[in-house]
């Protein structure tokens, strides 16, 4: 009896409330990594988005711990069919999700847009999340390798803080001078272990090389560009005695004022600014050795991919992706994190911000060099990253620094052995 009554009451209540919500609301579930970095960004964007898009409700799952966790979870959820509608993944994981058909291609959505280019979604931005000519994701937060200088050490070594070197020769000779200043001070540290081969890719790409040939059948990093890349790393060891320490230790040492030049991702600009305070002056500068028209740099950071199953959800998810990676989303992200926005129009909202934070501007100046962070094809794609890291280690710890070219040949051979045979 009671149940019947309450049922009727519920039906009545529904009948009264339904007309109020004239538009059916589509809920889009989103999951992103690094909650401590991005939480503020996403919460702010949800508020802004709700004002202009009443038909779509964005909600979040608990953030992924890091990119590894993000990929593991999305792959597991793909098996059980419980993926969120939009997932944020590391830019080098696009391939794994595209190959396993976890993420939907976005080309049809992009074609349907009328003034996509004019909204700041330039070609390099679309390329960063594409595999085999199809766009699977749009980058949200992007980082590039840059140089951080400790100006106090630069001055002490007789360098000019107003004209920091941009060529490898210039940077290495300055670093060698800093190295000799006093014990415990390192001239230069390059965070080569970061994500396995990201910095190596940067060195290959800046010399105009590629990781694989155009057909993705053969390793291509063992050519002249690759030899220059590994040669540069070897020079750091022989000419500047770069320390053989982990990336983490490099960053702590830099923040402690013991490193003259640090080469790593832009993502740390905010963290360093906070940690250093006024103990010394830090200045960011272009990644050394860039040549206009030839060099490219791999984009780190994360990308938004649509993993919703139904066409209706995908359509709503596309609106979310467009807003987040568009000018407004990009501007909000830059203001709340240390990353930069890939969208060309985001900077329109950020003129003041970059004036106040010139160290953030370096990455933006490198935007024309942006290309995608290469992921190797096939089932062993991530294993290859590890193989490359081990070979580079033997150059960086001094064991085989003198035989850098042989290491490169072996690295290419071992990589080739792990690539799909039939391809």
Partner 1 sequence: MTNAVLTTGASTLPSTGKRRRPHEEVASWLLVAPAASLILLLLIAPLAAVLGLSFTDYQLGARAWSYVGGANYAALANDPVFWRSVGNTATYAAIVVLGSTGLGLGVALMLGRSSFLTQVWRTVFFLPVMGSLIAMAIVWEFMLHPTFGLINAALGLFGVAPVNWLQNGDTALGVLAVIGIWQQFGFNMVLFLAGLSAIPQSLHDAAEMDGAALAWDRFQLVTWPLLAPVTLFVVVISTIRSFQVFDTVHALTKGGPNKATEVLLYTMYAEGFEFFRTGYAAAIAVVFVMAMLLLTLAKVFIAEKRIHSQ
Smaller CB distance to partner 1: residue 270 or 380? 380
Q: Which residues of the chain form contacts with partner 1 (CB under 8 A)? A: 68, 71-72, 74-76, 78-79, 96, 100-102, 184, 243-246, 249, 252-253, 256, 258, 379-380, 382-383, 386, 390, 393-394, 397
Q: Helix (H, G, I), strand (E, B), or coil: what is residue 253?
A: helix
CB of residue 357 vs partner 1: minimum separation in angstroms? 29
Return the number of the residue (244 or 409) whose C-beta is nearest partner 1: 244
**With respect to partner 1, which residue has the nearer C-beta, 192 or 318?**
192
Q: Output the DSSP codes for 321-381.
A: HHHHHSHHHHHHHHHHSS-B---TTGGGG-HHHHHH-HHHHHHHHTGGGEEE-----STTH
What would you report as the CA-atom Rg of the chain, rounded to the nearest whole angstrom? 24
Q: Dihedral through CA 409, CA 414, CA 417, CA 418, nearest 10?
A: -130
Name the minimum Å distance from CB 81 to partner 1.
11
C-beta of 8 vs 383, nearer to partner 1 = 383
Three-point CA angle 237, 238, 241, nearest 5°: 55
Residue 138 CB, nearest approach to partner 1 (Å): 22
Q: What kind and span of H or E run contains 5?
A: helix 2-17
* Identity of the residue, 47 or 249, whose beta carbon is nearer to partner 1 in the bound complex: 249
Tell me how far the alpha carbon of residue 224 is from its chain's centroid.
26
Tell me how far, at minimum, the Cβ of 74 lies from partner 1, in Å: 7
Cβ 236 to partner 1 shortest distance, Å: 16
Sequence-distant (6+) residues with CB within 8 A of 279 are 257
Classify strands 130-131 and 145-150 as parallel, antiparallel or unpaired.
unpaired
Can you name the residues that pair with 264 across neighbouring β-strands?
146
Name the residue nearer to partner 1 (CB basis): 85 or 223.
85
Closest contact distance (angstroms) between CB of 256 and partner 1 is 7
Name the residue nearer to partner 1 (CB basis): 390 or 406: 390
Q: Minimal distance in Å, beta carbon 127 to partner 1?
A: 24
CB 211 within 8 A of CB 147: no
Beta strand 145-150 pairing with 282-285: antiparallel
CB 264 within 8 A of CB 191: yes
Give least dist CB 68 to partner 1, A: 6
Nearer to partner 1, 48 or 379 (CB): 379
Cα atoms in the Cβ-side hemisphere of radius 13 Å centred on 243: 24
HEC profile of 69-99: HHHHHHHHHHHHCCCCCEEEEEHHHHHHHHH
Beta-ladder partners of 299: 372
């Amino acid at each position: 009896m009671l149940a019947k009554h309450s049922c009727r009451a519920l039906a009545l209540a529904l009948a009264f409330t339904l007309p109020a919500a004239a538009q059916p609301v589509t809920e889009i579930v989103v999951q992103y990594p690094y909650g401590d970095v991005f939480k503020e960004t996403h919460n702010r964007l949800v508020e802004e988005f709700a004002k202009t898009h009443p038909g779509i409700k964005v909600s979040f799952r608990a953030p992924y711990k890091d990119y590894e966790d993000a990929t593991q979870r999305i792959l597991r959820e793909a098996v059980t069919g419980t993926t969120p509608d939009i997932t944020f993944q590391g830019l080098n994981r696009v391939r794994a999700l595209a190959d396993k058909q976890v993420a939907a291609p976005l080309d049809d959505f992009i074609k349907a847009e009328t003034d996509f280019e004019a909204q700041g979604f330039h070609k390099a931005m679309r390329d960063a999340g594409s595999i085999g000519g199809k766009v699977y994701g749009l980058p949200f937060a992007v980082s590039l390798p840059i140089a951080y200088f400790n100006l106090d050490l630069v001055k002490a070594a007789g360098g000019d803080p107003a004209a920091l070197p941009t060529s490898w020769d210039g940077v290495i000779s300055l670093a060698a001078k800093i190295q000799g200043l006093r014990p415990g001070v390192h001239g230069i540290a390059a965070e080569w272990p970061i994500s396995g081969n990201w910095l190596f890719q940067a060195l290959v790409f800046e010399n105009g090389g590629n990781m694989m040939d155009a057909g993705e059948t053969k390793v291509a990093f063992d050519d002249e560009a690759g030899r220059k890349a590994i040669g540069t790393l070897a020079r750091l060891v022989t000419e500047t005695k770069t320390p053989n320490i982990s990336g983490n230790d490099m960053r702590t040492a830099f923040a402690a004022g013991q490193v003259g030049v640090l080469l790593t991702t832009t993502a740390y600009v905010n963290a360093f600014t906070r940690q250093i305070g006024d103990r010394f002056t830090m200045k960011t500068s272009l990644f050394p050795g860039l040549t206009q028209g030839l060099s490219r740099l791999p984009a780190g950071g994360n990308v938004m991919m649509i993993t919703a199953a139904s066409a209706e959800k995908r359509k709503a998810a596309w609106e979310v992706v467009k807003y987040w990676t568009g000018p407004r989303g990009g501007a909000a992200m830059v203001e709340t994190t240390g990353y930069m926005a890939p969208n060309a129009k985001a900077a329109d909202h950020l003129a003041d911000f970059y004036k106040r934070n010139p160290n953030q501007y370096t990455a933006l100046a490198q935007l024309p060099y942006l290309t995608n962070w290469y992921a190797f094809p096939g089932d062993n794609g991530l294993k290859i990253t590890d193989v490359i890291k081990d070979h580079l280690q033997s150059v960086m710890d001094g064991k085989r620094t003198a035989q850098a070219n042989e290491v490169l040949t072996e690295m290419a051979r071992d990589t080739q052995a792990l690539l799909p045979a039939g391809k």
